[in-house]
Amino acid sequence: MRIAFIGDIVGQPGRKMVQNHLQKIRAEYSIDFVIANYENASHGFGLTSKNATELVSFGIDVMSGGNHTWDKKDILPLFDTHELLRPHNYPEGVPGTGCKVYDVAGEKLGVLNLMGHFSMPYTDNAFRCAEETVASLHEEGVKNIFIDFHAEATSEKRGMMMLLQGKVSAIIGTHTHVSTDDFQISQGTAYLTDIGLSGCRDNVIGMDAKVPLKQFLSGMKGHFDIPKKCKSILQIAIMDFSDSKCSGAFKLKYFDDGRVIKNDAWIED
């Protein structure tokens, strides 16, 4: 199976880039299944019902969340009407789930959403949750497993890779909005510390620079806004899974000025 993953979609600029490019990417690269992170999709914070339906219509099959999952009141009923995940290591009793299994190209695909601990809301232990959930999926005969690990600390993301390499097909990090340059395949597991945002690229992590700069200069906080006009980017990872392993992967960057940059994941022996 060939799957694709889009990290944090930030506001209207990010949604617009998905609308403009995803269907063409699916066709050109024969993609079977698309996962995307929704937690910044609506005005930079959370997800509305309107935007959820909109993103699905653009060609996304399931969406994962993070620390902004609960920012819009619309989210609760959406777990029953849309293919949405929230971090699986939220405590028992929290609405929704962070793990689902799908039939893709004649095989089973498990999609798991986890959230880290440093600078994040309170959750159960992400590493124990990951171990237990992956073991349960294996017992169910699910061999191909994709993880969106939504975390601030690069050490936590790398630690998750060390814990699960060879046991899952891919671990891709989200949350920082800043793309890292370490896309690799080790022991059959694709890994990228952070895929980076899809949205405005000429500002501060997709937000208008005025408020962040004021905060950096004075310590005074303010409300972050999405710029009305900006230069934008779509970042998408494409991976081939078979019999639990990732056999090949690459990342594409689509710029609103027409440029496309491709980077292949390296393979560790």
User: CA 173, 26, 195: angle at the middle one, nearest 5?
Assistant: 15
How many other C-beta atoms lie within 10 A of the C-beta of residue 150? Answer: 30
Active site residue 175: no
By DSSP bridging, strand 144-150 and strand 170-174 are parallel
Residue 117 CA to residue 126 CA, distance in Å, equals 8
Which residue reads 């609960």 in tokens?
70
Specify the 3-state DSSP secondary structure of 193. Answer: coil
End-to-end Cα distance, the chain: 23
Instruction: Please pick, among 21, 43, 68, 82, the residue that the annotation labels catalytic.
Output: 68
Going by their DSSP bridges, the two strands 266-267 and 260-264 should be labelled as unpaired
Q: Say if CB 23 and CB 213 are below 8 A apart.
A: no
228: burial class by Cβ within 10 Å (0-12, 13-18, 19+)?
exposed
Active site residue ranges = 68
